[in-house]
Amino acid sequence: MADVVLQPNRAATAKTARKRSSLHNALRRKSTVAFLMTLPLILLIALLVIYPAFYAIHLATLNKSMQRFIGLSNFEFLFKRETFWLVVKQSCIFAITAVIFKAVLGFIIAHFVHNIPARGQRKWRGMLLVPWVIPPAMSTLAWLWLFDPSYSAFNYTLGLFGAGPIPWTGDALWARFSVILVNIWVGAPFFMIMYLAALKSVPEQLYEAAAIDGANWWQRIWYVTLPMMRNIIAITTLFSLIVTFANFDIVRILTAGGPLDHTHIFATWAFRVGIEGSDIPLGASVSLFMVPILAIAAIFILRDVNKRGNEA
Amino acid sequence: MTTVTIDKATRTPKVKYGSMSRDRAWALRWSYFFLVIFAIFFLTPPVYMLITSLKSSAEISAATNPWWVFHPTLENYTSLLTSNQFLRFFWNSAIVSIFVVTITMLISVPAAFALSRMRFWGSATLATGVFLTYLVPETLLFIPLFKMFAVIGDFTGIQLINRWYVLLILYPTLTVPFCTWIMIGYFASIPKELDEAAIIDGASWFQTLTRIFIPVALPGLIAATIFAFTVSWAQFLYPLVFTTSTDQLVMPVGIITTLIKGDVFNWGQIMTGALLGAAPPLIIYAFLMDYYIAGLTAGATKG
């Protein structure tokens, strides 16, 4: 352990024996101190993240009463259930649609905020980030009330224009739309803030050069802004993909998976099956299906973040 | 403004300049137009919470114009703020958040210091591991954790499920990785000469951390604290799974499980509760917006 630390200092330490031993002791102490400082972190990650993750795999191979090993039967059972495939489909639709809209909306809003004079930007930025600050469980309640079947404020407003009442959370398609809409509402400000920070870091000279070359606004975005922001766009999108795919609060409060399981995603269905239905092994199996897509996204994020670290 | 630019454009031979500034003026107008639309979209739910919270249940069920309060009343606020149950939720949330913030800082600041300054065997791997842990969502772990704590309860007799303090163990899994990660970034940005000077002057590692690093990286520390607080205040899944008795619940779960009684929705009270639940993060955000945003954007950068 100490050897590795010593490597770069070997030349310096070789000078005198006395110096070497004292330095050696100091460095040895340093690595011990460092280890002690990170010990709580290591314990936390090992006991409360890594261990439960593997425990989930173990749980997924047990029967409902958790007394018998049944191998992959839980997965076989899931594959045969129509609801499971519905959940897979809905999770993908939910995550992909929401992330695309969040990314596009965030990009557009960031541009508008970036366009206006600098002294007004703070105020607008502050206002537009509010959805991200409110706890999602609380703001989803407000949406639930806006979507209320009999007192919906949206339907009231639509009624003024003669449009019919919309079954926001009652009809399968509209319920999916509502869930995605709320997710976009919560997540778009995050994209806006990230893109705004990235936009500010694009050197003004590049735009001037592009303007001199006669580039129109579209070409400026396509050839200057997007390439400069590529990394932050990738990180933000992948990060949001993970969070959205694993979302729980919004769907749980807004529709609780209904109508007829048509808005369930992995997290809410795992909760329904595992906690409410007290079939913990089956619930664990359901939540394990999130792992592959999360792992892929995580690998790409890690690559991009490291790249970003090297750039800076 | 436009007239001036047009005049300028016609008088001077440099027509290009005039058209550019006119384009700018239009771009500005469109920007404001769309920003207003987006602001309406983003602020409708919180504003609607406020509107509804000021209505009596009679006015809500009368189904008059939902966007206006005809007879403003504070009865929802008084009834919630005098209800012991609701104050209990608020108290539980506050206690849990404060403890979690403290625990998080005690774990993540020394760890971040060690990982950013005291290179040791496996420190780079551990830093990457911290980031990966941050990407693990709580929805993946709640079932095995629930079973784990149930098993611990069976074997040791330490009852953790349905006690508010179980959240003190659970929330750090969400806050510590991110806080450590952004603190590594902030610490790494401190010039090496600073701590070298401290070490030469005879400061111990611990003194270097408390006397040099924490004061210098204070903005980062504030950002991390805000993050830890908002995450623990807003967390919904863990308290929903791990606590059920009404005296153990925290705000978000408490409001949803107790104010919604069967099919009877007392929307005035629910919206008041939701607004009060959203208030602490919003207040912190209003006063410390720059730190909040710095914390948000720091997550995507490596120090």
pLDDT digits (tens, 9 = 90+) for B210-237: 888 888 888 889 989 998 999 999 999 9
Q: With CB atoms and an 8 Å threshold, state whether B110 touches A137.
A: no
pLDDT digits (tens, 9 = 90+) for A133-144: 899 999 999 998
The pLDDT of residue A111 is above 60: yes
Q: Is A7 on the interface with B (CB under 8 A)?
A: no
What pLDDT is attached to residue B102? Answer: 94
Within 10 angstroms of residue A1's Cβ, the number of other Cβ atoms is 14
From A240, A250, A121, A228, select the one nearest B299 (Cα to Cα): A240
Report the residue of chain A nearest B285, measured CA to CA. A133
The mean pLDDT of A237-242, rounded to a whole number, is 86
Which residue carries 């209505």 as its tokens? B55
Q: φ and ψ at A286, to 5 degrees?
A: -60, -45
Which residue carries 């003194």 as its tokens? B207
What pLDDT is attached to residue A203? Answer: 85
What pLDDT is attached to residue B300? Answer: 60
- Which residues from chain A sit within 8 angstroms of residue B46, using beta carbons? 130-131, 134, 139, 142
- Which residues from chain B sit within 8 angstroms of residue A278, using beta carbons? none
Percent of chain B residues topping a pLDDT of 90:
19
The residue ranking higher by pLDDT, B50 or B62, is B50
Chain B: give the shortest CA distance to residue A67, in Å: 13
pLDDT digits (tens, 9 = 90+) for A245-261: 888 989 988 888 778 88
Rg of the Cα atoms in chain A: 26
Nearest to A56 among B49, B143, B256 (CB): B143
Binned at pLDDT 50, 70 and 90, residue B86 comes out as confident
Q: Is A296 on the interface with B (CB under 8 A)?
A: no
What pLDDT is attached to residue B8? Answer: 44
From B207, B206, B224, B214, select the one nearest B190 (Cα to Cα): B214
The mean pLDDT of A215-220, rounded to a whole number, is 81
Count CB pairs under 8 A between chains A and B: 300
The pLDDT of residue B28 is above 80: yes
Q: With CB atoms and an 8 Å threshold, state whether A34 touches B114.
A: yes
Q: Is B74 on the interface with A (CB under 8 A)?
A: no
Binned at pLDDT 50, 70 and 90, residue A182 comes out as very high
Alpha-carbon gap, residue A269 to A284, rounded angstroms: 11
B173, B231 Cβ separation under 8 angstroms: no
Question: Which of A102-111, A180-189, B67-76 is the least confident region?
Answer: B67-76
Nearest to B139 among A53, A267, A298 (CB): A267
Binned at pLDDT 50, 70 and 90, residue B13 comes out as very low
Q: Is B118 on the interface with A (CB under 8 A)?
A: yes
The mean pLDDT of B133-153, rounded to a whole number, is 88
What pLDDT is attached to residue A24? Answer: 57
Q: With CB atoms and an 8 Å threshold, state whether B43 touches A127.
A: yes
Question: Which of A65-74, A112-121, B179-188 is the least confident region?
Answer: A65-74
Which residue carries 């403003």 as its tokens? B72
Give which of A41, A111, A275, A303 to mutate to test B binding, by max B Cβ within 10 Å.
A41
Question: What is the average pLDDT value for chain B, to the nearest integer?
Answer: 83
Report the residue of chain B nearest A232, measured CA to CA. B300
ipTM comes to 0.84
What pLDDT is attached to residue A10? Answer: 46
pLDDT digits (tens, 9 = 90+) for A43-82: 999 999 999 989 988 888 887 777 778 878 888 888 888 8
Binned at pLDDT 50, 70 and 90, residue A123 comes out as confident
Q: Which residues contact residue A175 at a Cβ distance below 8 angstroms, ignoring those fewer than 6 apart? A: A168, A169, A254, A255, A258, A259, A262, A263
Q: Is A312 on the interface with B (CB under 8 A)?
A: yes
Distances (CA, A) of B24 to B1, B27, B268: 11, 5, 46
Binned at pLDDT 50, 70 and 90, residue B101 comes out as very high
pLDDT digits (tens, 9 = 90+) for A292-301: 888 888 888 8
From A38, A117, A190, select the one nearest B293 (Cα to Cα): A190
The residue ranking higher by pLDDT, B25 or B251, is B251
Q: With CB atoms and an 8 Å threshold, state whether B173 touches A44.
A: yes
Q: Torsion angle, CA of A182/A185/A191/A197, rounded to 10 degrees?
A: -160
Binned at pLDDT 50, 70 and 90, residue A309 comes out as low
The residue ranking higher by pLDDT, A278 or A1, is A278
The mean pLDDT of B48-62, rounded to a whole number, is 84
DSSP E strand boundaries for chain B: 260-261, 264-265
What pLDDT is attached to residue B263? Answer: 65
The pLDDT of residue A1 is above 50: no
What pLDDT is attached to residue B65? Answer: 79
